[in-house]
Chains A and B, each alone.
Chain A
Amino acid sequence: MSCTSKESRAFSLAKGFYRMRMLALTWICAMAVGSVGCGKGSAPKGYSIAVIPKGTTHEFWKAVHAGAVQAARELTASGTVVTVTWKGPLREDDREQQIQVVENFASQGINGLVLAPLDDRALVRPVEEAKRAGVPTVIIDSDLASDSTVSFVATDNGKGGELAAERLGSLLGGKGKVLLLRYQEGSASTRAREEGFTKKLKESYSGIELISSDQYAGPTRETAKRAAENLLNRFGDQLNGVFTPNETSTEGMLLALQDAGRAGKILLVGFDVTTGFLEAIRVGQLQGIVVQNPFRIGYLGVKTMVAHLRGEPVERRVDTGVVLVTLENMAQPNMQAILHPPVDSVLNAGR
C-alpha cells in the first residue's frame, strides 16, 4: 500500500515537473522566435551596428536611441541596409557591466560599435580588443582616452559650460557668489562642462566668486539631492547662483532648493532636459538649461560609423551642437525641435 502511494506521488511530482519545464521551454522558444523575427530577419546583408549607452532609463538616452534608429532607417531607405542593436550595462552606471557588453558584442559578428563609455580609462581595453578583432568603435557623448577609435561624436561640452557661465554671469550682473556641484569623477563629458564653466567665469566675470566647486553629486538623483542639501545647508545664506552639469545633479539640486523653499531665489542653471525642468523654467525656479542634442548624437554616431565602414573618410571630432534654453526662447520652433525629439514616433514605428 505505502509503496504504491509513494510511487504515485513520485509520478505526479515528475508529471508536474515536466509540465513546468515544458511551460518554461515554450516561453523561451516563443521569445527566441520573436527576437529572431524582429531582429535578425531584416538584415541578411548590410551593416549590423551595436549602440551602447551608459544606461537605459534616462530620457536623454531614449533620444539617443531614437536618433540611432532614425539614422539606420534613413540609410536602409537609401539602399544600405543597417540594423541597430541597443544594449546598456545590466546595472546602470556599472563599468564592469558595460565592459562585458562591449566584449560580448565584439565576439558575435557585429560590424561596428557605437559606445558612450562610462569611464574614459576603464573602457579602453575592451575597445582596443574589439579593434584587434576587426570591430571598429565610434565614441559618442563622452570621450575615451584611446587612439583606437574611429571618431568622437559629442556635444562640445566645454562650450556648454561656457553658456551656463554667461547666463549666470549676466543674470547676476557680474557679481555675487555661486557654486558648482560636480557630477562624478571619471566622466569626461561633465568634467569638460565643469571646466568650461569655471574658465569662462574666471575670464569674463571676475566679480563673481566661486565659493564651492569640490563637491560631487554622485550617480543618482538621490545622491545628488543629498549632496545638494548639504551644500545649501552650509552656503545657503550667502549663495546667489548654482550650476549643475547633468540631468541627475540638476534634478537633485532643484529638489533640494524646492524643499528648502529657495527655488527661484537662488538662481539655478542646469544641464540636459526633462519635462520637469521645462516646467521649472516656466515657473521661474530654473533660470536656464544647457541642452545638448541627444537625438543628433545617436543619429550622427550611427551615420559616422556607417561612413567609416563604407571606407569614406570621417572627422575625428564631430560636434553635435549645444544651446541654452531659457524662459524667453523656449517657445521658438528650433528650440522645440531640440527639446522634443521624435522619440516615441521613431521607436514605436519600428515595432
Chain B
Amino acid sequence: MTRSRWFRWLGPLLGLAFVVLLFGFLSGDPLRFVAARNLRIVAAQTVIVSVGAVGMTLIIVSGGIDLSVGASIALTSVVTAVSLLQGWAPLTAALAGIAIGGVIGLVNGMVVTRLKVVPFIATLGMMGAARGAAKWIASEQTVNPPATWLNRLAVSVPDPPWLLVAPGVWLAVGLALLFALILGSSVFGRRVYTLGSNEAAARACGIPVERLKLMIYTVGGFCFGLAGVLQMSRLRQGDPTVAQGTELDVIAAVVIGGASLNGGEGGIGGSMVGALIMAFLRNGCQQMGWPNYIQEIIIGITIVAAVALDRWRASRPAL
C-alpha cells in the first residue's frame, strides 16, 4: 500500500527496459531479441535465481544475509536425485528436496538466534557444510536419476505448448506473487520490514524477534530448496558442484532490485526485475558475441551502478 515502496519498483523496471532496448537496438535485430523463443529461454534461465531471490529478499529485508544459497541448491538437487534413484515418487522426491532446504534454513536461523552468530558468518559456515554434505551424499559424483516429469519443469520450450513458458517459470511467478502479497500485506511481512528497519524498536513493541528470525531463515530455506529442485530438473541430474557462486547472483538480483543490505528496504517485485536484468544482460552479451570477460565486467558495473543510482535517488530531497 505504501506509495514509496511500490515506487521503488520503477527504478529497476526502467533499468530493465533500458537493457532490453539497448541490446535489441545493438543486435540490429530487435525483433529476434524480444521474440517469444528468446524470452522463453531467458525466463527459463532466470528461474533458479528468481526463486532464490524470493527467499533472499525476505532475509535481506529483515536485515540478514544468507550465503549458503548455492550450497543449499546443490544439496537439494542431490537429495532430490538420490530420492528418485531410491524409487520415490517424483512429487515425494521434490518435497524431500524442499524440506532439506527448509532444514538448512532452520539451522541457519538457530545459529543466528541461539548461538548469536552474525548471519554472515553463520551462513558462511553453512555454505561449506552444505556443499560438503552434498558431495558426501552424492559420493562426489553426479547423481543420474531416471527420467520423470520433474525433468520437464524447467525446459525452455514447455511440453504442452499452450503453457507458453515452462511450468517452473509459472511456479516462480506464482511464488513471487504469493510472497509479494505476504511481504506487502500480512502481519508476518510487516514484521519482516519492522525487524529490518529497527530491531530495537521491534523488540520494544513486543514482536518476538528471535522466533521471527527463525521463521524468516526457514522460509528462505524452503525457497532455496525449491530452487535446488528446479536446478535438478534443468540438469536432469543431482550435481554436488553446481551453483558455485549462485548466492552472489541471488544477492545481486535482490540488491539491484532496490533492497538495502542494512534491511528495511526492498521488495519481491524489484528483486524479480533485478534477476531479469542480469539474465537479459547475459543473454544480450552472448547475442552480441562478446567474450565472457566483457560480460563479467558489465554485470559487475551494473550491480555497483544500480546501487549507486539508488543511493543517489534516495539522497535527493523528497518530492
Residues of A within 8 A of B (CB): 6, 10, 13, 17, 24, 28-29, 31-32, 35-36, 39-40, 56, 85, 87-88, 90-91, 93-96, 99-101, 103-109, 119, 121-122, 124-126, 129, 132-133, 185-186, 216, 219
Residues of chain A within 8 A of B292, CB atoms compared = 56, 87-88, 90
Docked-complex contact B157 and A129, CB < 8 angstroms: yes
Interface-central residue, A93, A105, A108, by most chain B CB under 10 Å:
A108
Residues of chain A within 8 A of B235, CB atoms compared = 95-96, 99, 119, 121-122
Docked-complex contact A186 and B41, CB < 8 angstroms: no
Interface-central residue, B32, B44, B239, by most chain A CB under 10 Å:
B239
Q: Does B142 contact A (CB under 8 A)?
A: yes
B101-133 interface code vs A (CB 8 A; 1 in, 0 out): 000000000000000000000000000000000
Q: With A90-B292, A91-B244 as given contacts, are A104 and B283 in contact (CB-CB < 8 Å)?
A: yes
Q: With A108-B38, A119-B235, A122-B236 as given contacts, are A101 and B286 in contact (CB-CB < 8 Å)?
A: yes
- Quick one: which of B44, B151, B239 contacts A103, CB cutoff 8 A? B44
Residues of chain A within 8 A of B312, CB atoms compared = 13, 17
Interface-central residue, A91, A100, A186, by most chain B CB under 10 Å:
A100
Docked-complex contact A133 and B289, CB < 8 angstroms: no
The 9 A-B residue pairs with the shortest CB-CB distance, nearest first, are: A185-B141, A122-B235, A186-B142, A32-B26, A107-B38, A104-B286, A39-B289, A103-B41, A107-B37
Docked-complex contact A104 and B287, CB < 8 angstroms: yes
Interface-central residue, B32, B41, B141, B283, by most chain A CB under 10 Å:
B41
Residues of chain A within 8 A of B296, CB atoms compared = 90
- Quick one: which of B37, B241, B286, B291 contacts A133, CB cutoff 8 A? B37
Docked-complex contact A96 and B141, CB < 8 angstroms: no
Q: List 27 A-B contacts (CB under 8 A).
A: A6-B317, A17-B312, A24-B301, A28-B22, A35-B289, A87-B286, A87-B289, A88-B292, A90-B282, A94-B242, A99-B235, A103-B41, A103-B44, A104-B41, A104-B282, A104-B287, A108-B286, A109-B29, A119-B237, A119-B239, A121-B144, A121-B236, A121-B237, A125-B236, A185-B141, A186-B237, A219-B241
Q: In the bound complex, what is the Cα–Cα distance between A214 and B235 (angstroms)? A: 25
Q: In the bound complex, what is the Cα–Cα distance between A129 and B166 (angstroms)? A: 13
Q: Does B8 contact A (CB under 8 A)?
A: no
Residues of chain B within 8 A of A17, CB atoms compared = 312
- 10 additional A-B residue pairs with CB within 8 Å, beyond A10-B316, A100-B282: A91-B244, A99-B234, A104-B283, A107-B32, A107-B35, A108-B32, A122-B237, A125-B151, A129-B157, A186-B237
Residues of chain B within 8 A of A219, CB atoms compared = 241
- Nearest CB of B to A24, in Å: 8
- Nearest CB of B to A57, in Å: 10
- Nearest CB of B to A108, in Å: 5
B209-221 interface code vs A (CB 8 A; 1 in, 0 out): 0000000000000
Interface-central residue, A29, A90, A106, by most chain B CB under 10 Å:
A90
Docked-complex contact A121 and B142, CB < 8 angstroms: yes
Q: Does B178 contact A (CB under 8 A)?
A: no
- Nearest CB of A to B141, in Å: 3
CB under 8 Å from chain A, chain B span 221-247: 231, 234-237, 239, 241-245
- Nearest CB of B to A217, in Å: 11
Q: In the bound complex, what is the Cα–Cα distance between A124 and B155 (angstroms)? A: 11
Q: In the bound complex, what is the Cα–Cα distance between A173 and B241 (angstroms)? A: 40
- Nearest CB of B to A186, in Å: 4
Residues of chain B within 8 A of A122, CB atoms compared = 142, 235-237, 239
Q: Does B72 contact A (CB under 8 A)?
A: no
Q: In the bound complex, what is the Cα–Cα distance between A240 and B28 (angstroms)? A: 62
Q: In the bound complex, what is the Cα–Cα distance between A3 and B157 (angstroms)? A: 57
Residues of chain A within 8 A of B301, CB atoms compared = 24
- Nearest CB of A to B179, in Å: 24
Residues of chain A within 8 A of B243, CB atoms compared = 96
Docked-complex contact B155 and A125, CB < 8 angstroms: yes
Docked-complex contact B289 and A185, CB < 8 angstroms: no
Docked-complex contact B28 and A36, CB < 8 angstroms: yes
Closest partner residue, chain B, to A130 (CB atom): B156
Residues of chain B within 8 A of A119, CB atoms compared = 142, 235, 237, 239
- Nearest CB of B to A250, in Å: 20
Q: In the bound complex, what is the Cα–Cα distance between A95 and B312 (angstroms)? A: 38
Docked-complex contact A31 and B140, CB < 8 angstroms: no
Docked-complex contact A129 and B237, CB < 8 angstroms: no
- Nearest CB of A to B20, in Å: 14
B38-49 interface code vs A (CB 8 A; 1 in, 0 out): 100100110010
Residues of chain A within 8 A of B32, CB atoms compared = 107-109
- Nearest CB of B to A98, in Å: 10
Q: Does B294 contact A (CB under 8 A)?
A: yes
Q: In the bound complex, what is the Cα–Cα distance between A122 and B238 (angstroms)? A: 9
Docked-complex contact B286 and A132, CB < 8 angstroms: no
Q: With A95-B242, A96-B242 as given contacts, are A105 and B286 in contact (CB-CB < 8 Å)?
A: yes
Docked-complex contact A129 and B155, CB < 8 angstroms: yes
Closest partner residue, chain A, to B44 (CB atom): A103
Docked-complex contact B155 and A95, CB < 8 angstroms: no
Docked-complex contact B287 and A108, CB < 8 angstroms: yes
Q: In the bound complex, what is the Cα–Cα distance between A121 and B141 (angstroms)? A: 13
Q: In the bound complex, what is the Cα–Cα distance between A122 and B244 (angstroms)? A: 16
Q: In the bound complex, what is the Cα–Cα distance between A296 and B59 (angstroms)? A: 51
Q: Does B288 contact A (CB under 8 A)?
A: yes
- Quick one: which of B37, B234, B295 contacts A96, CB cutoff 8 A? B234
Docked-complex contact B231 and A35, CB < 8 angstroms: no
Q: In the bound complex, what is the Cα–Cα distance between A36 and B26 (angstroms)? A: 9
- Nearest CB of A to B199, in Å: 32
- Nearest CB of A to B43, in Å: 11
Q: Does B88 contact A (CB under 8 A)?
A: no
Q: In the bound complex, what is the Cα–Cα distance between A6 and B316 (angstroms)? A: 10
Q: In the bound complex, what is the Cα–Cα distance between A96 and B235 (angstroms)? A: 7
- Nearest CB of A to B318, in Å: 13
